[in-house]
């Protein structure tokens, strides 16, 4: 059975597509996707994130944002949010997701780098890469 992982952030242009890219590389047999709670459909990947991914040999320039809707959430076996408030919102708005929603970083929220300086993007990228490895190990045990 293929594990279906959905990663959620706010706009689906920075954090969740970054985590999606890393997890897809780490879990080539999984179905990894991303969405945003407040995403505007069809927005391109943040150019800084696109560049950071390209530097690691991952081309996600074709990514377009999408909103986290019920049908997308229902298809996932595991939903990972970048912030605890996002986890709360997913479970509040979509109670049928309870039990399969977790924070990407179990200790603290992953900060949104959008519009911040290059160092913030780099720190968030390192944080997401590290947690992607942790989640990949957990998912392989499923």
The residues carrying an active-site annotation are: 9, 15, 112
d(CA 91, CA 87): 6
3-state secondary structure of 105: coil
3-state secondary structure of 117: coil
What separation in angstroms does the CA of 15 have from each of 46, 50, 141?
Answer: 10, 11, 24
């Amino acid at each position: 059975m293929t594990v279906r992982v959905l990663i959620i952030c706010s706009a689906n242009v920075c954090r969740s597509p970054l985590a999606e890219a890393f997890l897809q590389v780490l879990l080539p047999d999984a179905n990894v996707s991303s969405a945003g709670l407040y995403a505007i459909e069809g927005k391109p990947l943040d150019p800084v994130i696109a560049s950071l991914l390209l530097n690691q040999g991952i081309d996600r320039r074709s990514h377009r944002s999408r909103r986290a809707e019920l049908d997308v959430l229902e298809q996932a076996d595991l939903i990972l949010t970048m912030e605890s408030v996002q986890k709360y919102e997913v479970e509040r708005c979509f109670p049928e997701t309870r039990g399969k929603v977790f924070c990407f970083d179990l200790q603290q929220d992953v900060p949104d780098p959008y519009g911040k300086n290059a160092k913030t993007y780099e720190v968030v990228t390192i944080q997401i890469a590290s947690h992607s490895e942790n989640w990949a190990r957990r998912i392989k045990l499923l």
